[in-house]
A and B are shown apart, each in its own frame.
Chain A
Amino acid sequence: MNPIQSLIKDLVDQYGRNRESLLPVMQGVVRQEMYLSEYSMVEIAREMDIPAAEVFGTATFYSFLETKPAGKYIIRVCKTITCAMKGKNQLLFAIQDMLKIKIGETTPDKRFTLLETNCLGWCHKAPAMLINDDVYTEVTPERVREILSGYMKEII
């Protein structure tokens, strides 16, 4: 058994083999692997006895279940109205300039992926962004450079 197979088996043992467990299982894989590869989706289908097309269809519906390879830290910048009004673009420019990637891309060292997302629910402290599960609010271009520097120091 390779690592992905055993990860999926553990998750399915933990959450159960019924269809209601599909989302928790997929979330578990994404937590570990940062995305769902075609291979993991087929493995989930096999392990849970669900058609692979159904697994693919469900996975691609949800924006937090990435199906393209992603970095260790996924940066999601809110682009909905209040954040857009309060400087989300400056924030995006600062990140792109610092990491030398565009929206949708991953840094060559697989550390960061940059994405835009819809309303994060922090409109009173706009602009907001998520780095994996952690929230950062009222982020200025200066602050985002500090925040990212912190993540860059970490050894991956």
Chain B
Amino acid sequence: MAYSYQLKRVDFIFRNENDWEKVLSSTIKKKPDEIINELISSELKGRGGAGFPTGLKWKLTAESKASDKYVICNADEGEPGTFKDREILSKVPYKVLTAMAVCGYVTGAKEGFIYLRGEYKFLEKELNKVIDEFQYYCKEINLDFSIKIFMGSGAYICGEETALMESMEGRRGEPRNKPPFPTQAGYMDKPTVVNNVETLVHTWTIFKYGAKKFYDLGVQYSRGTKLFSVSGDTPKPGIYELELGMSLQDFVYEFGDGDTKAVQVGGASGFLVPRKKFKDTAIGYEGKLVGISLPTGGSMMLFNSSRSMFNVLDNYLEFFREESCGQCTPCRVGCQQLLLGIKAVKRGEKPAAYLDKLLKLTETMQLTAKCGLGQSVANSFSSIVENFREEMIY
């Protein structure tokens, strides 16, 4: 097989630029509409994993009428295999803060929060220093926008935006029903923009270099670049910024150890792609490039042939069972039963056909669970069980 394609490495996010004052002051000289149109034309989509168009989110919040509005930077990075947001916040925090302030200017929000996961508590002190410096400059240019850090306390589900807001309001992090969406009624029932850390940094790139520069990267439906957190059986684990739209085959060629059996795209709530499907899988948002295309929050975990897929699935289900908030039955009971179920099949207490029953159960969870956690358990479960059925049984 010929490998002609080179992964396109780019360097925008971690490029060290010391001109945030200039970017901020020149961006807020533009009209809010202008900024929103710029974002919409860049086709930037949310980088936390769900992929909602960022420009549209800001627009909807700007159009909501309310006395108070909020901007929240979601730094509750809990998806197994993702660690890019931590790196952004420790290396280029001022880009995130600038983007939040511009978002406040565009939407009319006066207050911003960074919801930082408890596991990243060690970042708090440095980040607060940068915030102080930033606030000082905001005062100088008469921009009325304050930023505070809100510490999480170890709950994966709080990365879900409505659970995050419940948590900030001092309650259990249980997701809310949607609609209303946060753009209408979010934190304290006020219109709220919740953006992932990386999404905000991409808006900085767009403010500084223009929408066209961003749009020209990547492929149709999946514009721009993305940070990938690469871990598992790879000789070079780490964080890499790549153009979207690459084929998984090229990714494995670059990052694999020569014996890659499968890649988990998008963390435990994403999909496992076996070797035979690498060629037909592209990394990006919906819209077919070659075969299937998978969106991702950037988690790429590689497994080589020494790994048992049963152990992998067992580990994921253990994770979901613990992190399920317990609010809705399909997810609370479903996660427990899936875990018990695969163990029973492995021990031979249940016949192999029982796996099909479990697959039905994940379908039910996908249809009836209240939030993304319960709905997405089906992704990894079905992609592992369907592709590595024999490993589940023997």
Contact = CB atoms under 8 A, between A and B. Distances in A.
A19 B169 contact: yes
Interface string B312-342: 1001101100110100000000000000000
A21 interface: yes
A23 interface: yes
A19 B170 contact: yes
A135 interface: yes
B232 A82 contact: yes
A58 interface: yes
A92 B83 CA distance: 23
Contacts of A123: 80-83, 229, 231-232, 237, 301
Contact of A22 (B83, B170, B322): B170
Given A119-B319, A123-B301, A133-B121, A63 B83 contact: no
B232 A21 contact: no
Given A63-B155, A82-B80, A124 B239 contact: yes
Interface in A100-156: 117-126, 130, 133-135
A125 B238 CA distance: 8
Interface string B170-183: 11110000000000
B238 A124 contact: yes
A23 B151 contact: yes
A121 B301 contact: no
A12 B188 CA distance: 20
B120 interface: yes
Contacts, number: 119
A19 B189 CA distance: 14
Nearest to B326: A61
Interface string A5-34: 000000000000011111110110000000
Contact of B119 (A19, A82, A130): A130
Contact of B173 (A61, A125, A126): A61
Contact of A58 (B117, B172, B264): B172
Given A82-B80, A124-B229, A130-B119, A118 B171 contact: no
Contacts of B238: 124
A129 B371 CA distance: 29
A81 B302 CA distance: 11
B156 to A, nearest CB: 6
Nearest to B234: A124
A133 B152 CA distance: 13
B152 to A, nearest CB: 8
A62 interface: yes
B301 A23 contact: no
Contact of A82 (B153, B156, B301): B301
Contacts of B325: 61
A61 B172 contact: yes
B168 interface: yes
B316 A121 contact: no
A57 interface: yes
Interface in A18-66: 18-24, 26-27, 54, 57-58, 61-65
B385 to A, nearest CB: 17
24 contacts: A20-B170, A20-B188, A23-B153, A24-B150, A26-B153, A27-B151, A61-B155, A61-B172, A62-B118, A64-B152, A64-B154, A65-B154, A80-B315, A81-B312, A81-B319, A82-B231, A84-B315, A119-B80, A121-B82, A121-B83, A123-B83, A124-B230, A124-B239, A133-B122
Interface of B: 77-83, 86, 117-122, 150-156, 167-173, 188, 229-233, 237-239, 264, 268, 301, 307, 311-312, 315-316, 318-319, 322-323, 325
- 10 smallest beta-carbon distances between A and B, as pairs: A22-B170, A64-B154, A123-B231, A124-B237, A62-B153, A63-B154, A19-B170, A61-B172, A64-B153, A121-B83
